Each structure stands twice: as structure tokens, then as C-alpha cells.
Homo-oligomer: A and B are copies of this chain.
Amino acid sequence: MPEGEEKICTVCGDRATGYHFHVMTCEGCKGFFRRSISKDVCFTCPFTRNCTITKAKRRQCQACRLQKCLAVGMRKDSKSGLGSPPSCSWCLAQGRLAGEVQGLLSPGEYLCCSLVSLGVLPTGLRHLPLMNSPAGGIPG
């Protein structure tokens, strides 16, 4: 980062405070991403999963905020055996359509998550899609 250059959060455009989880972000997106990957969160976009993430609106759609975090390359330091494709036994058993419902769910959203939160599936089955690196490899 050249000095004097603006430090802009890659996720929301707020003032960034440095690199967090491999991406230049603000304190808010840093905390949001850390909380997201440390818990079994499953967010759902109330719109069409393409919300614009800005400083003012970043709180209004957690699903798209997290999606953006992942899209720009935020990830945990991959020492702990991460990077395998997202999969849980239930989704594998149901097949792509039931598990992913492509076109309906965005990356990191899985039907199993909802069924787990409804108590239908045991928590052990829940996807942990947040721990996966973007499919294209390490960006930047």
C-alpha cells in the first residue's frame, strides 16, 4: 500500500484500517467477517442477493455483505486444513438441486443451514461454507 494513498475498504468503501483476513478493509467489515466465520451463521438476502454494500447500507444485508467479503478474497489464514469445496453429508445425499438450489442461493447459502436452524437436521450437518477460499484461488 503506497503511503498517502487512500485506504478504502474493499468491501464497503469505508475508511480502511489495514489488511484484515488478507483484504484491505474497515474495522466494521473486519469484525463482521471474524464473527461470521467463528459462528455457524447462515444469512439470507431479503432481496435478490446482489445488494450494493456501502458504509451506510452494509448493516442492512448480512448475506450480501458476507458474500462480498468472500468475493473480494477475505479468508482465514489457511493453516487449519481449509479450502475444500463446501459439502455436508445431507447436501451430498440430496444432490445439487436440493442442497444448493442454484440460482436461488448465493455462495455460502445452503438449504441444510435452514433445515438445521429449524431443528430438522442436527447441527453437525451444517455447512461451514465460510471457511472456503473463493473457487478461483487466492486473489490479488
Contact = CB atoms under 8 A, between A and B. Distances in A.
Contact of A133 (B46, B50, B113): B46
Contact of A51 (B102, B117, B137): B137
Copies in the complex: 2
A4 to B, nearest CB: 20
A114 interface: yes
Contact of A113 (B50, B103, B134): B103
Interface residues on A, range: 35 or more
Nearest to A65: B78
A111 B103 CA distance: 9
Contacts of A46: 75-78, 106, 133
A58 to B, nearest CB: 10
